[in-house]
Amino acid sequence: MADRQTDRRKLGPRERVLLLATVPLLLALGTLALLITRDMREMTLHQITTLDAQLVAARREDLRRLTGLARQAIDPILTADPAGAAPAKAQAIAILTALSAGTDSGLFVLDRDGQSLLGRLPGSMAEATADAARPAQAAGIAGKLIDLARQGGGAHSFDWPDPVTGRDRRVIAHVVAVPDWGWAIGTGALVDEVLATGAAARAEAETRVSSSLRRLGGTTAALILAVFLAGLLLHLSERRLADRKLKALTQRIFDTQEEERGRVARELHDSISQILVGVRYTLELARRRFSTNDARAGESLDQGIDTLNSAIHEVRRISRDLRPGLLDDLGLGPALQSLAEDFGRRTGISVDYATNPFRNRLDPEAKTALYRIAQEALTNIERHSGATHVKILVRGTSEGAVVRIEDNGHGMPATRRDGLGLRNMAERMAQLDGRLRVVSTRNGTLIEAQVPLTHMLPPTGIAEAQA
């Protein structure tokens, strides 16, 4: 019972094929999903990073343009008073203050000592530069901006605390120098909104990638389930087909057994039984003649002996049809030669038989299968072909042993090409991993059966040496 349960748990050929087909599919789909997800994430992040850089660059360009406008606004005053008297500076601060009121960017002015003359960075530059809590930070940023202005101007990014929340916020500033007065004029703006937009885009991209990954995973699971269900349905369908074929084969075996029994019964009744009845009557006649001293009593006994010899020959013929002794004693070649000679004598059909010596080297299964195929072929020729000539060739090749039967009859009708005899031939060859070829035309039928070299036994000397 344990062995049977173990056999049930073992995977059959179809299950192994299905598993070997499903596992690579699963691995391929999983790998594809990971590659697509990685590529989508990298592409999205690259696009967002590029967009952030473009937005920051655009913001920086706006600040440069505004700083340039502020510098141009006080150019007339600088031209009129290069020395920078107090009234001229006050007038310039007033112009810059009025200019900054119409922009959303902070406009600031620093002197050469880093003191704020005008401060309107986001979050109130005035408050920020006066923030006593971070004087060192304010001084460091102011010094950096002044140095940048002295070098010809440019942009500088830094973190600055929000006066309301206290949280650092990212600021971009652009400065230009007013060398004659020792000023640094600049504009600044928060880029938190730009960076927040990029962060939101990143979060949204991650959400989309995760959603795509989930959809891809669901699709993969659905495909795997579909493959599994298709394989299961195919397996069940083939199992039902195999069961039907097994039932049909079993029924064919029963039918063949009954047919063979019926044939043997007819042979016994039509030949042996009638011959023995004749022998009985002959012996009874001889007894009556002996009792009357009839001189013909010996004649009756001779006739009875001859009839009994006929019965013996019939028994041998029936026995040979069931299992020829030549097949076991001398091999396939002599057995087929005897079959061909008997077929020719019985039917009157001319038979040409040719062979090369096998030396009885075929294993018993191959000998029996080839003999039965030849026997079935000759039976079909006798019953259905209308042939007048038959060729039988038995030979060994580099690929195995071949039996070839060819007749000159009127061919095989389509209705008989799926008959029991041909199916039995094909099944015999399939059991031996052999090959059966059937070619039928109006000019005759060719049946060729071949068994592989695996059914050839080694020569006697080699077999004994190996033993």
In a domain, 129, yes or no: yes
| 115 part of a folded domain | yes
- State which residues form the domain around 151: 74-190
| CB neighbour list of residue 394: distance below 8 Å, 6 or more residues apart | 332, 333, 336, 353, 354, 355, 356, 358, 370, 401, 402, 403, 404
Q: Quick check: 4 pLDDT over 50?
A: no
Phi, psi (5° rounding) for residue 108? -135, 160
- CA separation for the pair 263, 210 (Å, rounded): 77
Q: pLDDT of 51-83, one tens digit each? A: 777 777 888 888 888 888 888 888 888 888 887
> Which position has the higher pLDDT, 344 or 124?
344
Q: Are residues 447 and 425 in contact, defined by beta-carbon separation less than 8 angstroms?
A: yes
Indicate the pLDDT class of residue 467, thresholds 50, 70 and 90: very low
Q: What is the DSSP letter of 454?
A: G
In a domain, 165, yes or no: yes
The answer to whether residue 407 sits within a structural domain is yes
Which CATH number characterizes residue 103's domain? 3.30.450.20
Which of 134, 166, 190 is at the close of a domain?
190
Sequence length of the chain is 467
pLDDT single digits (tens) 278-305: 888 888 888 888 888 888 878 888 888 8
Domain assignment of residue 457, yes or no = yes
91 or 419: which leads in pLDDT: 91
Ranges of H-type helices in 74-103: 75-80, 86-100
Report helix, strand or coil for 162: coil
Is this structure's pTM higher than 0.75? no
What is the tens place of the pLDDT at every residue in 36-45?
777 777 777 7
Torsion of CA 69, 70, 73, 74, to 10 degrees: -140
Closest by CA position to 110, among listed 199, 43, 37, 178: 178
- The one-letter code for the residue type at 427 is E
Given a cut of 60, is residue 30 above it in pLDDT?
yes
Instruction: Note the pLDDT of residue 392.
Output: 92
Task: Provide the CB-side half-sphere exposure for 145 (13 A, CA).
Answer: 31
Average pLDDT over the chain, rounded to whole?
77
User: In this structure, what token pair is assigned to residue 431?
Assistant: 């059991």
Q: pLDDT for 356-367, tens place per residue? A: 765 667 888 888
Does residue 222 belong to any structural domain of this protein? no
**Confidence check: pLDDT of 463 > 60:** no
pLDDT for the residue 389 = 92
Strand partners, 351: 390
For 12, half-sphere exposure in the C-beta direction (CA atoms, 13 angstrom radius) is: 7
168 in any annotated domain: yes
Confidence band for 416, pLDDT divided at 50, 70 and 90 = low
pLDDT of residue 130: 42
Picking from 190, 213, 233, the residue at the C-terminal end of a domain is: 190
Query: In the predicted model, is pLDDT for residue 147 greater than 70?
Result: yes
What's the domain count of the chain? 2
User: Cα–Cα distances in Å, from 267 out to 258, 273, 282, 316, 455?
Assistant: 14, 9, 22, 12, 34
Closest by CA to 380, choosing from 410, 350, 402, is 410
Residue 65 falls inside a structural domain:
no
Angle at 131 between CA 125 and CA 135, to 5 degrees: 110
pLDDT for residue 125 is more than 60: no
- Closest residue by Cα to residue 248 from 418, 442, 93, 23: 418
What is the CATH classification number for the domain harbouring 428?
3.30.565.10
Q: Which of 190, 222, 239 marks a domain boundary?
A: 190
Please report the pLDDT score of residue 404 as a whole number: 92
Average pLDDT of the residues in 430-458 = 87
Per-residue pLDDT for 113 more than 60? Answer: yes
Nearest to 402 by CA among 412, 411, 392: 392
